[in-house]
């Protein structure tokens, strides 16, 4: 949940879509109508099992980070990012998959943004064939 511009924004998933609910009070989120901001994707690598959505404002733009993967198994889950607008309630477009350069096809989930001394880092849970399960941190770029 985030607070911006007089609204509280709560993100939820149904496994096949990502929703944002907004209200001027926390209690108001209980009865507010959710808005679907992303729905089942036709790309097989990110079609299913949406979870862990978070929004972060970087500069003047909001970004939505979420975990998703293929149908069937949980073995190929990765973090993806959507680019929004000037509020968390704006329209989102697909920006890309976030993955470490040394393990681009390995499992990565539940990412968040960490800012230290003005530099943004992406922190996530990941597993690769050499290091196993670990918490990863990497500088966030717009590449």
Residue 84 has pLDDT above 70, yes or no: yes
Q: How confident is the model at residue 58 (pLDDT cuts 50, 70, 90)?
A: very high
> Which pLDDT tens digit goes with each residue over 35-52?
999 997 788 778 888 889
Residue 64 has pLDDT above 50, yes or no: yes
Tokens describing residue 136: 């990863």
The rounded distance, in Å, linking the Cα atoms of 62 and 89 is 9
Q: How confident is the model at residue 102 (pLDDT cuts 50, 70, 90)?
A: low
What is the chain's mean pLDDT, rounded? 88
User: If you search the block for the tokens 């993955």, which residue do you land on?
Assistant: 99
Q: What's the average model confidence in pLDDT over 109-135?
A: 86
Sequence-ordered alpha helix ranges (H) in 12-123? none
* Contact assessment for residue 124 and residue 98, using Cβ atoms and an 8 Å cutoff: yes
Residue 20 has pLDDT above 60, yes or no: yes
Query: Can you spell out the DSSP letters for 39-71?
Result: E--SSGGGSEEEEEEEEEEETTEEEEEEEEE-S
Nearest 5°: CA angle at 10, between 8 and 12? 170
Residue 85 has pLDDT above 80, yes or no: yes
* Contact assessment for residue 76 and residue 107, using Cβ atoms and an 8 Å cutoff: yes
The rounded distance, in Å, linking the Cα atoms of 3 and 6 is 7
């Amino acid at each position: 949940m985030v607070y911006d511009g007089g609204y509280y924004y709560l993100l939820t998933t149904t496994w096949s879509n990502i929703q944002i609910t907004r209200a001027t009070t926390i209690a108001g989120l209980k009865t507010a109508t959710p808005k679907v901001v992303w729905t089942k994707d036709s790309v097989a690598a990110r079609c299913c099992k949406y979870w862990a959505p978070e929004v972060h404002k970087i500069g003047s733009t909001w970004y939505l980070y979420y975990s998703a993967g293929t149908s069937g198994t949980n073995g190929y889950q990765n973090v993806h990012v959507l680019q929004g607008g000037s509020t968390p309630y704006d329209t989102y477009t697909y920006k890309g998959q976030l993955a470490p350069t040394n393990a681009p096809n390995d499992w990565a989930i539940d990412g968040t943004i960490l800012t230290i001394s003005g530099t943004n880092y992406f922190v996530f849970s990941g597993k690769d064939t050499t290091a196993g399960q670990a918490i990863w941190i990497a500088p966030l770029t717009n590449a």
